[in-house]
Amino acid sequence: MEVRINNQIIQAAEGTTIMEACRLAGIHVPSLCYLKDVSQNASCGVCVVEVKGAKSLLRSCITRVTGGMEIMTNSARAMEARKLNVELLLANHPQDCLICDRNGNCELQELTFTLGINEKRFVRTRKEHYEKDESSLSLVRDPEKCILCGRCVAVCSNVQNVKAIDFSGRGLKTRVSTFLDAGLGQVPCTNCGQCALVCPTGAITEKSSVAEVRALLHHPEKVVLVQTAPAIRVGIGEAMGMPFGSLVTGQMVAGLRRLGFTKVFDTNFAADLTIVEEGSELLRRIQTGGRLPMITSCSPGWIKFIEHFYPEQLDHLSTCKSPQQMFGAVAKTYYAEKTGIDPRDIVVVSIMPCTAKKYEARRPEMDGAYLYWKERLHLTEEERFYDVDYSLTTRELARMFREAGIAFAKLPEEAFDNPLGESTGAAVIFGSTGGVMEAALRTAYELYTGEKLGSVDFQSVRGLQGIKEADVNLNGTILKVAVANTLKNAGLLLDQIKNGTSPYSFIEIMTCPGGCLGGGGQPIPTNAEIREKRAASIYLEDAHKAIRKSHENPEIIRIYEDFLKEPLGERSHHLLHTHYQERGY
Amino acid sequence: METQIKRPVSGDLPDEIIEKHRGKPGMLLTILEEIQERNQFKYLPGETLAEIARRLQIPYTQVYSVATFYSYFNLKPQGKHTIVVCRGTACHTKGSKALLDDIPGILGYKRDVDDGDSSFTTPDNLFTLKTVACFGQCAQSPVVEVDGVIHSSVNARKLLQIMNKLKEEETTKVLSYEAV
């Protein structure tokens, strides 16, 4: 149908919203609450437009176009109302932008500037002053900065089906809160951080460890190792001002070296290790009649989700630790032994696209290396250390790069250090939904059949859709597999298992939309279009790798020869595998 | 590191209230209302809200959302006597703010109770003071409700009488207990 937008005639399909039609016409109508695929609350009033014949201004995010509609997005009336609505939000919003985590990347700040608001016209109406919620190991909520747009509530409820937060109270006392205002650390929040990713202001951010890491980098006795998750190399460039999905592996390594990390290693090494262990575990379960379907365990938000909501299905989870944790355990045992460094002097910092990794690193059971050394070095309880000391998000790393004055785009490409920087194409695709499945299939196929794979590309498990399934032919044996991203989709597969109708042997689950590349610790904004670009870069990196199967990684072969001996062996059991617990409410 | 919200001991809750309303439209409101009525201190403890969510298999946050939205629901123990001052426009113009400000003093406490749904309960749990947006009794403004009875055209003197009567009642009770 034909509609007129700011005197320009455009064609829009039936069902298009005014906001979408405007976008087609090249006009950006701002909004603080609407977010494609996430929320449509129509609560902020920023996207109002004037429509000829309509009594009041209309919210363009929820109003659909009709044939012949005449829309003005920039009439005096629309502009005034838009500005007024932002000014009203500012009445209760703190004005401490200079010291806010989202300074320079805040939708409210940007809009205030764009709309030319240069005075604070309205006084605060909220009577209560809310404390920050710092109860979570992963996230910090500052209700003072909240503009009640509802995006976080929508993503937590509609995308993740976790419902850890919702609106409470009424009128001026309306706020986003957890059950009983207990705090995120006290309720079944999975720490996925999608709320932080969609927040238009600084009301939800990761709990930062930048200061601690910075201090350790200058510590004379510490050996500070850094590991980078697969999804960082397709995200960090964006945060440093490069195009969406820029593949910047080499620059990232160079930048980390310039920050002062002793060695720059790759979580991908541990991802290859995970595949060898997990692939072996899958085959063992199939061959010995173990619990099937087996479900991947790399994504810590997902782990906490199943512990809270489906504890009766915990034995479906692979016992493999996530690559982050495997890396920590191996770095402080194998690498320490190899180099003769006292494990107490090793600091493992991981760069993750994830906020849940912060929680995972602090799980009490994640101290495999300490237990390994306890007898050997006569360590006391006070000397106990975690396998991973600090986990930073992509955004925190960008902060460190900027602080250090690193001109990221101009950095030369450098290579990871060895041995824990050696990895294959199978490891890099861990960063995308379907990647762990594909990597596992590449290895499982060859281990199971004893034959070489013709093509290593399993196209059927690629793509960013919510649930994918495939039949994989292992030389006559058909393996039914499924891949899901987002916890809502995970729940659907778990309900199948509960009802006894799950046809699968192996399931991959990732907490965040699109997998880790859309993680809660990734640069803001992250949306469907950006996720596609990051995914394309991930598969590009895989295609260009000389070795694309985890079990062919020479350093993986070496670690088994020199240290671990065999997959699922005694050492693996202590260092690379874990257990789970029911968490209730 | 992570302390989970305690689950109440089973049998703490009036099961039949939940079962009676399960599946009916608006069941949550009815259940919250009846359970609050049954509570000795006329309130909904956190464990109770958790138990309701668990039994009905609805999100905990939804129960909390509803319970905090309606000023009718109390999340803190209520005093034996409830005094509600109307803060509607008509009552306001007839001086209900002054009445509201007077009451804590009459009870022997220094405390501001503002408009909206905040409330004040005396430490001895005898009195709870709250406000309401409008009782719909504007013709007789200002009105103050005491234990469900609406007193109309209240002024400072009348308020003092009402309050003193309440206080006397409680003192006599204490005295008669002591006599026994």
Cα separation, A88 vs B99, in Å, equals: 32
Q: Which domain holds residue A70?
A: 2-91
Contacts of B58 in chain A (CB under 8 A): none
Total of domains in chain A: 3
Contacts of B4 in chain A (CB under 8 A): 186, 583-585
Q: Do A186 and B69 touch (CB under 8 A)?
A: no
Q: Return phi, psi of residue B176, to 5°.
A: -65, -35
Domain end marker among A189, A204, A219: A204
Contact A71, A3 (CB under 8 A): yes
The answer, for A166 touching chain B at a CB cutoff of 8 Å, is: yes
Per-residue pLDDT at B3 exceeds 50: no
The helix (run of H) or strand (run of E) holding residue B154 is none
Any domain includes A397: yes
Q: Are residues A106 and A188 in the same domain?
A: yes
The predicted pLDDT at position A513 comes to 98
What SS3 class is residue A4? strand
Chain B residue with the nearest C-alpha to that of A135: B2
Contacts of A189 in chain B (CB under 8 A): none
Chain B residue with the nearest C-alpha to that of A582: B4
Q: Are residues A336 and A425 in the same domain?
A: yes
Q: Taking all residues of chain B, what is their mean pLDDT, rounded to a whole number?
A: 86
Per-residue H/E/C for A147-195: CCCCHHHHHHHHHCCCCCCEEECCHHHCEEECHHHCCHHHCCCCCCCHH
Any domain includes A431: yes
Contacts of A163 in chain B (CB under 8 A): 59-62
Look up residue A490 and give its two tokens. 């995970």
**Burial of A545 (C-beta count, 10 Å sphere; 0-12/13-18/19+):** middle
Any domain includes A14: yes
Per-residue pLDDT at B4 exceeds 70: no
Chain A residue with the nearest C-alpha to that of B45: A180
Estimate to the nearest angstrom the gap between the alpha carbon of B46 and the chain centroid.
16
Q: Are residues A180 and A307 in the same domain?
A: no
Strand pairing category for A294-295 and A204-206: unpaired
Q: What contacts 24+ positions apart, CB below 8 Å, involve B51-58?
A: B51/B7, B51/B8, B51/B12, B51/B13, B52/B13, B52/B18, B52/B28, B53/A179, B54/A585, B54/B7, B55/B13, B55/B18, B56/B18, B56/B22, B56/B27, B56/B28, B56/B31, B58/B28
Q: Are residues A179 and A223 in the same domain?
A: no
Q: What angle do CA A202, A205, A211 make, to 5 degrees?
A: 110
The predicted pLDDT at position B177 comes to 60
Q: Do B7 and A585 touch (CB under 8 A)?
A: yes
pLDDT string in tens for chain A (585-residue length): 999 999 999 999 999 999 999 999 999 999 999 999 899 999 999 999 999 999 999 999 999 999 999 999 999 999 999 999 999 999 999 999 999 999 999 999 999 999 999 999 999 999 889 999 999 999 999 999 999 999 999 999 999 999 999 999 999 999 999 999 999 999 999 999 999 999 999 999 999 999 999 999 999 999 999 999 999 999 999 999 999 999 999 999 999 999 999 999 999 999 999 999 999 999 999 999 999 999 999 999 999 999 999 999 999 999 999 999 999 999 999 999 999 999 999 999 999 999 999 999 999 999 999 999 999 999 999 999 999 999 999 999 999 999 999 999 999 999 999 999 999 999 999 999 999 999 999 999 999 999 999 999 999 999 999 999 999 998 888 999 999 999 999 999 999 999 999 999 999 999 999 999 999 999 999 999 999 999 999 999 999 999 999 999 999 999 999 999 999 999 999 999 999 999 987
Per-residue pLDDT at B8 exceeds 50: no
Q: Do A179 and B64 touch (CB under 8 A)?
A: yes
Q: Do A180 and B114 touch (CB under 8 A)?
A: no
User: pLDDT tens across B117-174, in order?
Assistant: 568 899 888 999 999 889 999 999 999 999 989 999 999 999 999 999 998 888 877 6
Tokens 């059949």 locate to A449
Q: What are the residue numbers of the active site of A?
A: 278, 281, 298, 318, 357, 360, 365, 516
Q: What angle do CA A195, A201, A203 make, to 5 degrees?
A: 60
CA atoms within 13 A on the CB side of B166: 21
Domain end marker among A163, A183, A204: A204
Q: Are residues A78 and A193 in the same domain?
A: no
Any domain includes A580: no
Q: Are residues A140 and A58 in the same domain?
A: no
Q: Are residues A255 and A191 in the same domain?
A: no
Cα separation, B151 vs B148, in Å, equals: 10
CA A148 to chain B, closest CA, distance in angstroms equals 14
Q: Are residues A250 and A192 in the same domain?
A: no
Q: What contacts 24+ positions apart, CB below 8 Å, involve A282-290?
A: A282/A318, A282/A440, A282/A444, A282/A505, A282/A506, A283/A444, A283/A447, A283/A448, A284/A568, A286/A479, A286/A505
The predicted pLDDT at position B180 comes to 47
The predicted pLDDT at position B110 comes to 81
What residues of chain B have any CB closer than 8 angstroms to a CB in chain A? 1-5, 7, 46, 49-50, 53-54, 59-65, 68-71, 114, 116-117
Q: Are residues A257 and A173 in the same domain?
A: no
Contacts with B, A 362-391, CB within 8 Å: 362, 364
Q: Do A170 and B4 touch (CB under 8 A)?
A: no
Establish, for the pair of chains A and B, how many residue pairs have beta carbons separated by less than 8 Å: 68
The predicted pLDDT at position B137 comes to 93
Look up residue A206 and give its two tokens. 């990761």
Any domain includes A415: yes
Q: Which pLDDT band, with edges at 50, 70 and 90, does B13 fall under?
A: low
Which strands make up the sheet holding A477-485, listed edge to edge? A294-295, A506-510, A477-485, A467-474
The predicted pLDDT at position B113 comes to 72
The answer, for A178 touching chain B at a CB cutoff of 8 Å, is: yes
Chain B residue with the nearest C-alpha to that of A584: B4
Domain end marker among A168, A185, A204: A204
Q: Label residue A434 left, alpha or beta by phi (over 0 means left) and psi (-120 to 50 means alpha).
A: left
Residue A532: which of A457, A462, A438, A461 has the closest Cα? Answer: A462
**Burial of A193 (C-beta count, 10 Å sphere; 0-12/13-18/19+):** buried
Q: Do B62 and A178 touch (CB under 8 A)?
A: no
Any domain includes A435: yes
Look up residue A141 and give its two tokens. 């909520």
The answer, for A313 touching chain B at a CB cutoff of 8 Å, is: no
Estimate to the nearest angstrom the gap between the alpha carbon of B88 and the chain centroid.
18
CATH number at residue A140: 3.30.70.20
Contacts of B65 in chain A (CB under 8 A): 166-168
The predicted pLDDT at position B2 comes to 40
Any domain includes A536: yes
Question: What is A184-227 written as a DSSP string?
Answer: GGGTT-----HHHHH-SSSSEEE---HHHHHHHHT-TT-EEEEE
CATH number at residue A223: 3.40.50.1780
Cα separation, A266 vs A427, in Å, equals: 10
CATH number at residue A47: 3.10.20.740
What ipTM goes with this model?
Answer: 0.92
Q: Are residues A200 and A216 in the same domain?
A: no
Which strands make up the sheet holding A263-266, listed edge to edge? A263-266, A223-228, A346-352, A390-393
Q: Are residues A173 and A229 in the same domain?
A: no
Any domain includes A583: no
User: pLDDT tens across B106-118, in order?
Assistant: 988 887 776 655 6
User: pLDDT tens across B32-85, in order?
Assistant: 999 999 998 999 999 999 999 999 999 999 999 999 999 889 999 999 999 999
Q: Are residues A352 and A256 in the same domain?
A: yes
Contact A272, A557 (CB under 8 A): no
